[in-house]
Amino acid sequence: MMSKKYITKSFIVNFLIFFCIFLLDRFTKKIVIVLNEKNFGEQIYTSSYLNIQLIWNQGIAFGLFSNIENFLYNIISLIIIIIIFVIIIMILKNNGIKRMSLIFILGGAVGNLYDRVLFSAVPDFLDFHIRDIHWFIFNIADIFISVGVILLIFIDLFGNKEKENE
């Protein structure tokens, strides 16, 4: 049984943030999957800068390694699980904006891992573009992972200078 000293107000807030990220990711993916089935695979939404169209990403970030065999797919999934455990340890050892950045990454990573296990692929659907120049298609989990990584980079670039000046 978990000791009461570990279940603090901070723990509850951090867990709720993680869980909200996970739920938002699940909710948006479910909506897109249902709309895709109703539209028989056609684009769900199209505009000058944003298309919403479901694709199933069997690779890793931005579709890398999407044509891999099952053995490699399972190895990559195992590596992702190990990384998730490392992130959890890092969350426990950090605080402030660094902890929040790691929680963002964790929420997105768990959301995408859930899909890898459930569907053997991750549903991506946000397609930003300018005319015929398209960015990689991604999902809500990818947004939180990216924001978390960008925040960690800023912390590393600018946070260390503050410590050096002290």
Angle, CA of 37, 104 and 130, to the nearest 5°: 55
Q: For the chain, how are helix, strand and coil distributed in percent, rounded to 5?
A: 65, 15, 20
Per-residue CA distances from 48 to 1, 52, 108 (Å): 54, 12, 27
As given in the structure block, the two tokens for residue 87 are: 């992130």
- What is the rounded CA–CA span in Å between residue 65 and residue 45? 27
Phi/psi of residue 135, nearest 5 degrees: -80, 170
Positions marked catalytic? 124, 142
